[in-house]
Structure 1
Amino acid sequence: MTQLIVRLGLAGMAVVHLWWGLWAYSAPRHFFTTFPGLGHHWTAAYPPYNEHLTADLGATFLTLAVLLAVPAIRYRRATARLALAGSITFNTLHLGFHTFHHGTLTGLDLGASLVTLVAGLGVPVALFLLAPKEGHLLHAPR
């Protein structure tokens, strides 16, 4: 059961990174001005817009999506933990930056962005700690 939870977590993270990556890479201006959506503009709170950096962020998200999808599809503890370690590294650095640099964000948007970043770090940390060894329930045959 633990392996199923970890695999579903990896898959969910992969889908989110794929969505953000495709958006930022294929439409960097739109991503910059409208992320995360629903009337909020968190990325735009850190001007000026830079197409190259926004597309590079999209490429980073796409890379993380691939790395997280592999162990979600074909589970290996070492691969899962490596992908999660990469995600933890990115999310730790990302949270660290935004903890001390708020751009023009204030109030609820600032609080919501920081809570989201903390959750974005907490999920891969929890999955990293939960990741069972191969041979547990739902192990795919070699």
Structure 2
Amino acid sequence: MKALYYDSERCVACRNCEVACAMVWKHADTVYQALTAPILPRTRIFLIKEDTANTVLSCRHCEVPPCKEACPTDAIEKLEDGTVVIDDGICIGCRSCTVACPLGVIESDERGQIMIKCDLCKNVGGPACVTACPTNALVYGEFSQIIRERRGKA
């Protein structure tokens, strides 16, 4: 199963992951374009800075997603590759998924009409946050392989 892996020891809290995410979702070519848009972009990844360590919150694409179970319109789907996505053509913005999400990473869009969450940048070929991370604190791939590599057993 593929997963987004975060290594807090490598993170330098540069927030490149958040900027890359915002640019993808705002369909902007530059940071300036994203930040000067009429409506500021919403990210689907959140860096939380603490005194002793940093952490990144993003959808974990749960094996059995509680958000999917809570959705009254079946707008949330788990794809074959394990990615959990929201169909914005079906979503009614009721926020049932937000209440059900144990991580609190599902929010309403900029206009408050539909719900949004990380979809691993399906429409741009993979997570932009991973590509933007200068220290490889974020990695996307087969979870078991990533763990073996990080433990030095690859």
Q: TM-score range by the shorter chain?
A: under 0.3
Higher strand share: 2
TM-score normalised per structure 1:
0.27
Higher helix share: 1
